[in-house]
Structures are given as C-alpha cells and as structure tokens.
Chains A and B, each alone.
Chain A
Amino acid sequence: MPITAAADRPDTRPVDPITLEIIRQLLQAIPDEVETDLTRTAFSPLIYEYKDYAVGMVDAEGRLITQSRGGIPIFLANVLGLAVLDGIALYGRNGIKPGDVIITNHAGTLGQHLNNVVMYAPVTDPKNRSRIIAFMAILAHWTDVGGRYVGSSASNDTTELFQEGIQFRSVKLRNAGEPVPEIYRMIQYNTRFPEMVLGDVEAQLAGCLKGAALFEDIAAKFGAGVVLDAISTMWAQSEAVARQAVRSIPDGEYKAASFLDDDGIDLDRRIECPVTVRVEGERFVVDFSEISEQVRGPFNSGRYGGGITAARIAFKYLTTPGELTNEGSFAPLEVILPDGKFLSASDTAPMARYSTPISTVVDTIIRAMATAVPDRVAGGHHASMGSHRFQGISPHTGRLFSHLDTAHGGWGGSQGRDGSGPFKTLAHGDTLDVPVEVQEALYPLQVDYFGFRADSCGAGKFRGGVGLDKAYTIQHAVKLTLTFERHGCPPWGLLGGADGMPGYVEIQRKGDEPKKYLKATDIPLGAGDRVFIHTGGGGGYGDPLERDPELVAADVRKGFVTHAAALEDYGVVLDAGFNIDVAKTNARRGAAK
C-alpha cells in the first residue's frame, strides 16, 4: 500500500505563525511524554533500556504527524501509518470507532519480525466525537510471541515466518472502550513470558490512551481544523527543508558495494549489497536493483521494514539529522527496489533478524556519497548488531531468564574528526547497554574484563573509533545465541583510510582451545566455560601517513594503538617512553609515499 509522500493538502488554510509554533510544541510534547511513561512502566529491558519502540501520531489517512525522539531509528518507514492503513483497509472507515484499540504485527504490512507490534487508538474531534481526526500509535518489541526459540527472534536458522511466532493482523484489543478478552487470552497463551508481555501491553495501551487524550486537549483548545491545518503546514515546511538539503548535493550517480557474511544457513554464500544513488536536483534516488534475492535464513525484511527504512535512515544522516520526522521529511527520496529481494521479501519469508542488515545497508549508502559530499560522510562503523543472548534457568530464582546484550563498537573517522564510539549501530539510538553489575546480580554470568581493543580502529588521518573486548565466565548452565556480522567485509576506510578490525566471538570450553563463532543458535554452555566477545573498530578517513604524529603518540600512550601499528600503519617511530623520533618518522613516511 503506497504511503503518500507529498505533504501538500490543497485545502490547507494558512495558520497564524505564532499559533503554528505553539501547536508544533504541544504536539511534539505528546510522544515525548508518552515515551517517558512507556520506558518507566515497561517490563521488558528491550523497551526500557534498548528503546525498541516507536511512539507517534498519524492522521486519519495514516500520514505521520510526529514521532518521538528517543526510540531507535529503525522505525522511520512510518510503520505506524502502515499499521493504521491496514486496519482501515480491513475494518473499513466506519468499522473503527472511538474507544477501539487495534494491534497488528502482520509481517506483510510492517516487513519486520513478529515481535514488533503496533497498537493504536483513534483521536476524535472534541466537537464531533464520531469523527476520527488522527491515531495515537505505539510500536513496541514484545519479548516473546511464541515460535521456535525463546524470544521468538533469537534465531539464525528459521526458514519460514511461521517458526518465528504468532501473527495478529489488525485485531481489536478493545472494542468501543471494552477490553476484548479473547485477544488477551490469545496473547497470554502464545508467549513464554506472559507476565512480562501483558505488563508491556498495559504500558503500551496506557500510552495510546493518554496520547489520544492529550491530542484531543489540543484539538479542543485550537479547533480540530486549525490543528490539522497546522499539521499540513508542518509537513510542507519539513518537505522544503529536505528538498533544499538535496539541492546542496552535486548531481550525479554514486555507487558503493558491501556484503553481509551469510544468512545463517548457507554459510558460504554472502548477501550482496551494492547500491546506486542518483541525485538530480531535488530528487534523491536510492537504487537497490542489484542486491541479493530473498535469502533462506531469517535475515530478510519486507519492503517497508527493509529497503524503505534503510534508505530513509541514510537520507536522514546525510541531509537532515536535526529535523523532527514527519510525512514531509522524505518527500525527495525515491527508492527503486524490485520485489523478492532480501530487503523486499515475501510476506512469509523468515524475518527474525530483519534489523541485522539495516545498519550495513545504511552505511553503504553513506559510503556511496563519499566523493559527492566528503564532509557529510564517515568511514564504515562496526555495523554489527552483535547480539549475544544468554538464556537458561536462574539458579537463584528457578525462573526462566533471557538476557540480551548487543555489541557496541567503533564508528568511522570523518573529515576533521576521529571516529567516535563505542556505540551500538547507526540503526540504534539512545540504546543503553546492561551494566556488568546488573548482569552479575541477575544472571549466572561473571564478566572478567570489558575494555578497549587495541588496534581495532582503522588507521587514517582521522582514525576510526576503537572496538571492545569483553570476556565472560559462565557460572551455571546456559544457552547462548550469537549473531555477529561484517566479518568478511570489515568496516571500511574512506579516501585513503584503512579498514577497522571486524568483530567476532570465541568460545572456550573448559580445557579446550578457543573456537571462533559468528552466528550460532542455542549453544549449550556450562560452568567454567568462557566466552570472548570482540567488537569491530571504525574505518579510518584519509591517508594515515598524514596523521599528526603527536596524535599517534597519544594513541599509543593510551593503549588504543600499539607501537607496532604506529610504525606499520602510520610510519611513526616512537621510543619506549612514547617520544617521537622525528628524523626516523620523516624518513619512514617519505619512503612510504
């Protein structure tokens, strides 16, 4: 179903600029406030720490009014609007009434794994309660929706969507204000963590109802017509900002390629990801025609959850990072994506790990733009979700636990700046890691060390950010599921910079040699076994031989770069006290040029 890109409503009446600004502030405060409540009342760390949710409002046509700022970027494809449109298509415009609350996780609509459930409630015109003017919508990652593995999406080898949980395609959780007990029972008996999921459903529901009420307060104060006119004006303004940003990029065709290691099943077949970007005036066209077809394993996504999302995230990083997102934000963006690719997979393709490829696709689009806008790009980042999920029965509580942690690593160097980090991927945002003290208190794990990984940063005039090393000693039987990526195609350097080191995992069973892993599901581990997590560093930017030797010396003193790498990669000769031998350094750099 197409989402209208053009924000113009021909019948929009002009809104007084002061009133417009006041309405803008009040509207934006709604998802921000609801988001705060959601993170404080959620039962799942995936919501309160990982921020795997999106909170926003769409109008009666499913067009995005505004979205909260704290959720992770992966929900930019207006999944909220898509969900609402599916509900309207199934129930008909007269089939959705005030007081209804609808949920959907239909993969054919959202194109994401089944844990992502959108819930929405209608907002009515206070002057005419039967008229729906908008919807308050929240997408939240439910901890478990059944399927083959604990957590539903903790899979590397499912081959059909049906192994990944239950689908609720646009069903009513509330009917005219009354809870629908049948749906609650369906939810309760299709999850391994009913207490947690039903708690999160309550938090999500409270947020939808509160947001709708807050929206109605604004409509009552200014009149629904004025608020809708203000919204159209906001769209037009955002569209103009985006178009202007695209005009500042030189016209041309820009290409870059990358690949993912495998689909978890066919371990020797890469997932190819070549992209072409064409910029013509105000048009920014992302062409995915050459990427791999749909894959057997769970690394697929639907058109909106996949290709459109990745293109939108990249577009935002490159053009309008500070703008709030609404229906006008992506007007200049066009995506060419034939059906049946891994980013436009069929409705029943396995999608448990739909988000894993997104950060690499985004990074590749940014890479393509390096020659066009060298001051708006950065070297590749570690780009690996690097999820490591431990699950088992807690020896202290006797209850099933599932502990998900993901990698944070180095980001790429850029014009004038070393790469930053350690952060999660660029498809994450305000995602917090789980403190070691919390892990050790709640799970049968001990962390032996956690710190920077020397030499993982790609060399460059501006080097990449530094990756991390972490080691666990297992205290009691657990199962471990790993999804690491970007080993064969490490975080690239740009404009003469070197690649960063890729991330991977080693497992050392008691008495054995360490063994390397990237993707594996439900590896049984026992007390005394050790797990070593290595996360990738960022790619460098510019020729390393042009890096200020003082900066290289400082990196060596701090242990981010070793003496050997200073010599080999940067041509900087240091003594044991980290002093630069200027003559030898000049000679070595001169010879290397």
Chain B
Amino acid sequence: MLIIAIDTGGTFTDLTAYDAATGQVAYTKSLTTYDNLANGVFDCAQKAGLELGKGDVFKHGTTLVVNSLIQRDGARAALIATKGFRDILEMARGNRPDPFDLYYRRHPALIGRDMRFELVERTSGRGEALAEPQFSEVASLAAELSRLGVEAVAVSFLNSYLSPRHEEMVAAWLKDLLPGVFVTRSTELSREWYEFERTATVAANAYVGPQMSGYVHHLDQRLADGGFRGKFFMMGSNGGVLGVKQALAAPIALVESGPVGGSIGAAAYAQALGIDNAIAFDMGGTTAKCALVQAGRFDVKSVYYVGGYARGFPIRGAVIDIVEVGAGGGSIAWLDEQKRLYVGPRSAGSTPGPVSYGRGGTEPTVTDANLVLGRMDPEGFLGGGMSLDLLGARRAIQEGLALPLGYTGPDGAQRMADGMIAIASVAMAGAIKRITVEKGLDPRDYCLFAFGGGGPLHAFQIARELYIPLVIVPPEPGNFSALGMLLANMKVDQSTTFVRALDQAALEEAAKLLEGMREKMTATLRADVPHGALSFEYFAEIRYRGQVHSVRTPLDAAASPQDIRRSFERIYRARYGHADSKNPVEIVSLSVSGYGTMDRPALEDLAPNRSASGSPTVRTRQVYFAEAGETVATSVFKREELPTGFSAQGPALIEEYGSTTVIGPRDRFEIGRLGEIRISLDIKN
C-alpha cells in the first residue's frame, strides 16, 4: 500500500507519501509552478523517488479553483436563467458592507450581462410548474452559445430548489446540443433557496469547470504515463476527499481545499490521542486560521465568500468552518499618522519578505520580531539553508516603531518586538474566540493544536491569553497540510431546504427524504471506496419561527420532536445565553454528511523522533519573554533528538525544519507517544 498526498499551495507544492510495506514516510517540497501546476506536482514526486506504478491512492489538493476565481482567468462561460431574471447574478443583494465608501463596489460578476441569457420556464414559489421549457428555444439558444464560442454553461432557474426538473431537462438538452461544453446546473450543487447565492455558485462552477477538467485529465494522463494504476482523489472544501468524477462535475467543491488538510490532520491526531475537544491553529506567512475539531469532526458552513464578504461573492456548499485573520509571519507592523500601532493585515509575503530575509523588505514584520526576541536562530532558518539579518530586523523595529512610540533605551527594540507579537496574539486569540466563545464554548475545555510555520512559535502565548491549558505541536508542523491530506477519508455532503414546523409528521417526511439522500450518497461513496466502512450523520437547521438564522442540530432517527427541540434549545442557549421554551420552532433545511473510511498510515510511523535515542544535545540562547520582562537563558533542543517521554521545564525552544516551538518560562513540555510536543501551561485563572 503506497499512499501519496500532494498539496499545491500558493508558494510551495508539498508531498507526503507513506509506504505501508516499509513504514517509510517521505516529505518533499518544490516551488509551485504557476505556468503548469502539474509540473510542481511531478517535481515533488520525482524528488521523493516514488515509483508511481506501486501507488494505490493519490490524493491531491490544489489552489487552482480559488486562484482562477480570484485572478479571473477561467472559462468563457454563459448563464441561462429564468425569463426575467438574468441580472440576479449582478444585482446581488443590494448591500454595502463598507458603509461610508462613496465608491464601494463589488468584484464584477463572473459572467457579464452580454453572456447571460433567459429562457421561458417557471416554477412557482410552491414548487408547481407554471411554464415548461421548450426544446426549440433551448436549441436556438445553444446555436447562439456555440457561435459565441462558449466553453461552459451554467443553468439556474428560479425556485428550482423546490423542483429541479426544469433545470435537469435543459441541462440534458444542452449536453446533447453542445458536445465538449461544460454544462452545470444550480440544483446539482445546492438544493437550498436564495436565488442569488445558488446562481453565484453555479456560475462559479461553470467558470472553473473547463480548466479543472483540463487539469485533472492532464494529471490523470501523466499519472497513467508514470505507471500509476491506483485511485485518484481530490481534496474537497468539506474536509474529506472526493472522487475524480465528482470533482469534475462540481469543481467548486474544491474552492477551499488548501487549508483543509491541516484540520484533518489535527482531527486524526486528536482522536488518536483521545482528545475530544481541539482547536486546529495554523499560522503561515500572511494569515492565521483556526477551526474547531470535536470528536474527530469539524463544522462546515454552508456559505463561503470568494474574495471575502465585503466585496466577494458567495458559494453555497459545505465548506469547513475556518476563521482567518490577517496575522502571519510576514504581517507588517506600522504606525498611522496618529502613531496608532497596527500589525497586518498587509503582509510582506515571501518577496520582498521580512526585513531579516535581506531581500529588500524595509518594514518590520512578525518574523523580524521573533528574531529580535531570540525565538528564531538567525543561522538555523530552514535547517540552516538561509541566514537571517538580525541587525537589520532590530534596526527596522527600533527606527520604524520603537523610537516614534517612545520605547527608548537598550531594550526598546525588544519591548517593541514583544508588543508586536502581543498585538498579533490578540488578533489570533480573537479568531479563536469567534469559533468558541461566540458559539457558547469555553476555550479552557479545548486543546490547541498548533502548526504551520508560525503556529508553534506563538501557540503558548495565545493559549495563555485564552486560558487554554494544553498545546500540542504535531509532527511536521511545516508540512502538516499535506500530512493531513494523507490521513483524509472520503466525505460527501448534501443539504436541502425543508421548511416545516417541527412535529411528528415533519420528522416522518424528513426521514424519507434523508433516507433517499443516504441511498444516493452510498452509491457515490461505494464507487470510490469499495471496501472501507461507511458512516452517515444527519442534521437539521432549526430556528424559532420568524428568525432567519438557524442552529445546526444533530438528528437522531429515534428522536421525538420534543427530543430534537430540547437539543436545539440546549445549543441555542449555550450560544446566545437565552432560549424560549414556548415559541414555535421550525426546521429550515436537512443535511447529511457521509464518510467513507480509507486506508491510512499508523500515526506511530509518522513520529519525527523514531530514531531518537540517548540524551539530546542542548544549547542555550538568550530569549526575551514578557513574563520575565527581560532576556533569559533558554534551552534549545532539536526535535528529532527528543525521545518519547522526554520532558523539561521552560523556557525552551525546540527547533526542526520549517518551524520552532516556543515553551514559556512558566510552562513545561513533554514528548508524547506519537512524537507530539505537549506543552502544559501553568494557567492561573
């Protein structure tokens, strides 16, 4: 059994491969090749010396979809809408999230007005057909689309969420009439109401469809040429992989495939370590992201904004619920004219990068601050592959920030650097509060899983801010996204609008609907996971009658309306501090998540310290800690030398390729049985 996972990210393409026969794990990295993304993928495979012919499973995550949507280099696409409604895509919802900007505008619609067409057909607001689509009209429309050289067509009809029949008819005709053109319809992606959101989703699917097909076929061909005979999966935004056939029909389901891997990895480790409540915290160069992991599962949300809420457009579909803030290693600290201090959201990125990279960056970043505080080794960056300019970083912080703000004296730059990190930590802690406190959950009940290049550097401080008692740094924090992908199961999600008062009759009807959904999903899962165990979870979105927002409530086949109402009210009260036992309650939609269990490596085989034996070497460095108010002598370890069971009191640094873990002066760490670093915080509440 050889499993290969490759994650194409913004800067690097990462590979993780696991050979069950030898227990060997390979990690390789190469630069992402924007002209042909597949080259980066095969560079990685070559570097790892993989024999593709022995490969059983190939899992792939890519930023192709989201990049294409943001850079606007997708297909020449057309939209076919119900007569009278072609402008829905461009009118959006009439809102302006930036209230005082006289020039506020949204990113332009993906499909311009001259490529949006209308067709006579109509379904009423209660699901009855009022006008049937006519083949002759579709045929002449198809001729026009063909003349315009259209590569993809999106079909989105009003009220189709109630009855998708018209969309199905028209899409089928178009597929016959326009061979080679990518045809997609809104109801194959979402069965929920809100016509703008559904239309924006199918427009985006059409926009990226042809490019994705081209890419997948190209990759598939090259894999076959390399002798690969196994199964090919793509990483979905919902936190599981999906088969190639599904990915080709609904490429939009891959929109957020990048950050998902880390959350899957965190979930797998949390489960293996018997931790029910975890927060996956991933800090990279430009942003920090966090997601909640409970009992090995993560929340999905049903609307995701491509390009952000303020100016972007929505995508309907299950996307893992990740909260992101503009705080990363490259985040720039700056002062405005009133000398107000900010950290981020602007980032120095990888070019020019932080001042200390010596590539022309002049504005101090979070990485520069870490260096000035002694948390990073100027000679040890990327395993010693790159040396960092400590003096330059100190000078930039001193001159750009510390002196203008009055932090003078010999330790001014260090106090300033510590302040930069404190401000970034507040922002990151704020993101974690949004996925916990705002849902009525107490972060003290959670364990913080820190990864990404910056996660292990900052986790102890963020944990302290939130009174989280335990931080875990998993193996390969710098490669954790690809590692997580290696561990991913197959997952499919489906939801449907179902507005009913919560009563026995509604539950019986819901049970039938859910059973139908489960049957379809079983077929989808079995096609790609022939042997692994399948499991299903059922949810209802429930609200008090009159509200618009609903609460995702688990459904249990045996539960009575009263049981379901009680669990709804329990979640509602935890989240908002109050609940009403008298107000009528209604269901808004139903959803099913289906999982197909896939083979994966034993986590013991992934431990970074498998060859550690004897006593590790310890160096000492002066590191500034705010708790001490000065620099203190700090032990520095190499991670691969620390055997399981090793423990020590902070302050300490644990270095490895791609990341450094910081343990504060009052905290203690231990190496766990999977090679994970466990930092126990001395929390005084």
- A, B in one complex: yes
Residues of chain A touching chain B, judged by Cβ–Cβ distance below 8 Å, are 17-18, 20-22, 24-26, 29, 33, 36-37, 39-45, 48-49, 69-70, 72-73, 195-196, 199, 202-203, 205-206, 209-210, 237, 240-241, 244, 313, 316-317, 320-322, 366, 376-378, 408, 411, 414, 417, 420, 422-424, 426, 428-433, 435-441, 446-452, 468, 471, 557-560
Assembled-state Cα–Cα distance A202/B544 (Å) = 13
Assembled-state Cα–Cα distance A539/B661 (Å) = 58
Contact of B96 among A376, A423, A438 (CB under 8 A): A423
User: What chain A residues lie within 8 Å of B578 (beta carbons)?
Assistant: 41, 202, 205-206
Q: Across the interface, do B195 and A436 meet the contact criterion of CB distance under 8 Å?
A: yes
Shortest beta-carbon distance from A23 to chain B in Å: 10
Assembled-state Cα–Cα distance A320/B102 (Å) = 11
Shortest beta-carbon distance from A408 to chain B in Å: 4
CB-contacts of B190-206 with A (<8 A): 193-196
Assembled-state Cα–Cα distance A376/B102 (Å) = 8
Contact of B423 among A22, A209, A376, A428 (CB under 8 A): A22
If the complex has contacts A433-B94, A446-B124, are A321 and B100 also in contact, measured as CB distance less than 8 A? yes
Contact of B94 among A26, A237, A366, A431 (CB under 8 A): A431
Assembled-state Cα–Cα distance A73/B96 (Å) = 11
User: What chain B residues lie within 8 Å of A437 (beta carbons)?
Assistant: 125, 158-159, 161, 193-195
Q: Which of B85-93, B488-496, B554-562 lies at the interface with chain A?
A: B85-93
Residues of chain B touching chain A, judged by Cβ–Cβ distance below 8 Å, are 83-88, 90-91, 93-105, 112-114, 124-126, 158-159, 161, 193-196, 337-342, 405-406, 416, 419, 422-423, 426-427, 430, 433-434, 438, 499, 544, 546-549, 575-578, 580, 583
Contact of B548 among A45, A321, A431, A450 (CB under 8 A): A45
Assembled-state Cα–Cα distance A73/B101 (Å) = 11
Shortest beta-carbon distance from B436 to chain A in Å: 12
Q: Across the interface, do B426 and A41 meet the contact criterion of CB distance under 8 Å?
A: no
If the complex has contacts A206-B577, A423-B96, are A17 and B547 also in contact, measured as CB distance less than 8 A? no
User: What chain B residues lie within 8 Å of A424 (beta carbons)?
Assistant: 94-96
Q: Across the interface, do A450 and B193 meet the contact criterion of CB distance under 8 Å?
A: no
User: What chain B residues lie within 8 Å of A40 (beta carbons)?
Assistant: 547, 549, 576
Q: Across the interface, do A441 and B112 meet the contact criterion of CB distance under 8 Å?
A: no
Shortest beta-carbon distance from A381 to chain B in Å: 9
If the complex has contacts A377-B102, A450-B91, are A36 and B577 also in contact, measured as CB distance less than 8 A? no
Q: Across the interface, do B193 and A438 meet the contact criterion of CB distance under 8 Å?
A: yes
If the complex has contacts A432-B94, A440-B159, are A237 and B338 also in contact, measured as CB distance less than 8 A? yes
Assembled-state Cα–Cα distance A244/B337 (Å) = 10
If the complex has contacts A241-B337, A244-B337, are A25 and B430 also in contact, measured as CB distance less than 8 A? yes
User: What chain A residues lie within 8 Å of B549 (beta carbons)?
Assistant: 39-41, 48
Contact of B338 among A36, A205, A240, A560 (CB under 8 A): A240
Q: Across the interface, do B548 and A430 meet the contact criterion of CB distance under 8 Å?
A: no
Q: Across the interface, do A559 and B342 meet the contact criterion of CB distance under 8 Å?
A: no
Q: Across the interface, do B113 and A378 meet the contact criterion of CB distance under 8 Å?
A: no
Q: Across the interface, do B544 and A18 meet the contact criterion of CB distance under 8 Å?
A: no
Most chain B beta carbons < 10 A, residue from A22, A39, A210: A22
Assembled-state Cα–Cα distance A433/B93 (Å) = 5
Shortest beta-carbon distance from A449 to chain B in Å: 3
Assembled-state Cα–Cα distance A316/B99 (Å) = 10
User: What chain B residues lie within 8 Å of A431 (beta carbons)?
Assistant: 94-96
Contact of A432 among B87, B95, B105, B580 (CB under 8 A): B95
Q: Which 8 A-B pairs have the closest CB atoms?
A: A440-B125, A449-B84, A18-B419, A429-B99, A408-B94, A451-B87, A321-B100, A420-B105
Shortest beta-carbon distance from B112 to chain A in Å: 7
Q: Across the interface, do B405 and A17 meet the contact criterion of CB distance under 8 Å?
A: yes
Q: Across the interface, do B124 and A438 meet the contact criterion of CB distance under 8 Å?
A: no
Shortest beta-carbon distance from B435 to chain A in Å: 12
Q: Across the interface, do A17 and B406 meet the contact criterion of CB distance under 8 Å?
A: yes
Shortest beta-carbon distance from A565 to chain B in Å: 16
Q: Across the interface, do A435 and B423 meet the contact criterion of CB distance under 8 Å?
A: no
User: What chain A residues lie within 8 Å of B105 (beta carbons)?
Assistant: 417, 420
User: What chain A residues lie within 8 Å of B575 (beta carbons)?
Assistant: 37
Shortest beta-carbon distance from B291 to chain A in Å: 18
Assembled-state Cα–Cα distance A322/B99 (Å) = 9
Q: Across the interface, do A430 and B86 meet the contact criterion of CB distance under 8 Å?
A: no
Q: Across the interface, do B99 and A73 meet the contact criterion of CB distance under 8 Å?
A: yes
User: What chain B residues lie within 8 Å of A411 (beta carbons)?
Assistant: 102
If the complex has contacts A429-B96, A437-B159, A451-B86, are A48 and B548 also in contact, measured as CB distance less than 8 A? yes
Shortest beta-carbon distance from B219 to chain A in Å: 37
Shortest beta-carbon distance from A187 to chain B in Å: 15
Q: Name the residue on A nearest B194 (C-beta).
A: A435
Q: Across the interface, do B103 and A414 meet the contact criterion of CB distance under 8 Å?
A: yes
Shortest beta-carbon distance from A366 to chain B in Å: 7
User: What chain B residues lie within 8 Å of A316 (beta carbons)?
Assistant: 100
User: What chain B residues lie within 8 Å of A18 (beta carbons)?
Assistant: 341, 416, 419, 422-423
Q: Across the interface, do A43 and B103 meet the contact criterion of CB distance under 8 Å?
A: no
User: What chain B residues lie within 8 Å of A48 (beta carbons)?
Assistant: 547-549
Q: Across the interface, do A42 and B405 meet the contact criterion of CB distance under 8 Å?
A: no
Q: Name the residue on B nearest A14 (C-beta).
A: B406
User: What chain B residues lie within 8 Å of A447 (beta carbons)?
Assistant: 84
Q: Across the interface, do B96 and A430 meet the contact criterion of CB distance under 8 Å?
A: yes
Assembled-state Cα–Cα distance A441/B500 (Å) = 12
Assembled-state Cα–Cα distance A447/B158 (Å) = 10
Assembled-state Cα–Cα distance A72/B100 (Å) = 10
If the complex has contacts A17-B405, A21-B342, A437-B158, are A321 and B85 also in contact, measured as CB distance less than 8 A? no
Assembled-state Cα–Cα distance A49/B194 (Å) = 13
User: What chain A residues lie within 8 Å of B406 (beta carbons)?
Assistant: 17
User: What chain A residues lie within 8 Å of B126 (beta carbons)?
Assistant: 441
Q: Name the residue on B nearest A43 (C-beta).
A: B546
Assembled-state Cα–Cα distance A42/B546 (Å) = 8
Shortest beta-carbon distance from B408 to chain A in Å: 13
Q: Across the interface, do B94 and A422 meet the contact criterion of CB distance under 8 Å?
A: yes
Assembled-state Cα–Cα distance A579/B94 (Å) = 32
User: What chain B residues lie within 8 Å of A439 (beta carbons)?
Assistant: 125
User: What chain B residues lie within 8 Å of A39 (beta carbons)?
Assistant: 549
User: What chain A residues lie within 8 Å of B577 (beta carbons)?
Assistant: 206, 209-210
Assembled-state Cα–Cα distance A471/B83 (Å) = 13
Assembled-state Cα–Cα distance A433/B193 (Å) = 14
Q: Name the residue on A nearest B93 (C-beta).
A: A432
Assembled-state Cα–Cα distance A8/B575 (Å) = 39
12 contacts between A and B (CB under 8 A): A17-B419, A18-B416, A21-B419, A29-B430, A48-B549, A72-B99, A321-B101, A321-B102, A431-B95, A447-B84, A450-B85, A560-B113
Assembled-state Cα–Cα distance A248/B511 (Å) = 66
Assembled-state Cα–Cα distance A452/B112 (Å) = 13
Q: Across the interface, do A199 and B546 meet the contact criterion of CB distance under 8 Å?
A: yes
Shortest beta-carbon distance from B532 to chain A in Å: 37
If the complex has contacts A22-B426, A560-B113, are A430 and B97 also in contact, measured as CB distance less than 8 A? yes
Q: Name the residue on A nearest B437 (C-beta).
A: A33
Q: Across the interface, do B100 and A73 meet the contact criterion of CB distance under 8 Å?
A: yes
Assembled-state Cα–Cα distance A560/B96 (Å) = 22
If the complex has contacts A49-B548, A560-B113, are A451 and B91 also in contact, measured as CB distance less than 8 A? yes
Q: Across the interface, do B430 and A21 meet the contact criterion of CB distance under 8 Å?
A: no
Q: Across the interface, do B85 and A449 meet the contact criterion of CB distance under 8 Å?
A: yes
Q: Name the residue on B nearest A468 (C-beta).
A: B91
If the complex has contacts A430-B95, A435-B195, A438-B193, are A21 and B423 also in contact, measured as CB distance less than 8 A? yes
Q: Name the residue on B nearest A470 (C-beta).
A: B84
